Structure 1
């Protein structure tokens, strides 16, 4: 009996010493020390620390788990073979202790035998969990939320081509009166852009200053090189017309 108790005490002491050594084992290089310091995350599982701790926003919940595996705590990385080997040694020691307890028939031995049996059951459950644990390589980071497509590039704005300009000038020239010429111009303006020299060519197709001013009013919102607006004053003879032009182009 004394030998049995001594064996159990030695086994429990060995487990306690192993746990103490595990707690006191110095951390690997780069691992923070101290009870309040968080553990260094596993490389590849982190991108800077949890968002709630001011990090880059990674979280263990960002990882998908295999089908049928239900995670109930924090994920860690262990070597399966090492855990199985240690469990085997513990089970061997427990088996020896239970054999000694079976050779005795006292009440205390029955209670001790029941306690050892419960320990073995826990060890068997732990072994099963370790054996069924998925390999680390089957874990994959969940894909990030799909990003909205980039906005389409801004269309390249080009002034009216020379060929299209000549066609427009020809259509304007066919009209006899200013109102007709303006109607033709009005149909072309919404779909084209113009340069100041092109505007001057269009104004030459008009005979009266008022018609020219109306043409500038149509064309000015579609003019690309407004820095050359001063050239438009040459298309007008009278100061009153030039004053109205200044109000239109703001220069």
Structure 2
């Protein structure tokens, strides 16, 4: 049985109590509670996140292993490098914005169909909760704009010098990859060396993300979330230099 959070002040359980591999729900830690800013801050500070579907209680997760992206391991393939160069040279027709349309980004993430996934875990109450948290300065969106149209993006949480990626969407080829590259460039410029990706996907792995043990993840985030948060969330085109797009690109994967 997993603990039920009945009172707003009930602390989340120790993550070592999460259901283990081989169980019906590996990584499930607790259920119940509310999506308040205080609860969400507590959860992410401990490496815990909410994930549930319509008709379920709020479910809190701490998977082991944990998918992460070390920003110095971000892979820019030859094709992505070419895409980014075209995008940058086409400024201001093409631009990256941060937080200019947060609710549109999270709503698009909720409504974009995904292979092998029926419905969405980004429910209306979750959208409202993260929009409230965004208004308080902890949740941010990286947005890809072309000809004044929002064509892709992602959102995530910043605590101290940690960034927790949540979800992305793309309405044009590579638009979410461009936003991801911009996020990595921004994080490098602001001394964020680690981005949480939660769970493994082939797409994230192709960009350099990898799994690490939960204990290693928690040891890494604990000092980072205690550092001062970032104040300036402006995306300057000069940040693209963080990716060294003029350098050698890795070979494209074979067939």
Interval of TM-score (by shorter of Structure 1 and Structure 2)? under 0.3
Normalising by structure 2, we get a TM-score of 0.22
More helix by share: 1
Larger RCO: 1 or 2 (CA < 8 Å, sep 6+): 2
More strand by share: 2
Normalising by structure 1, we get a TM-score of 0.22
Greater radius of gyration (CA): 1
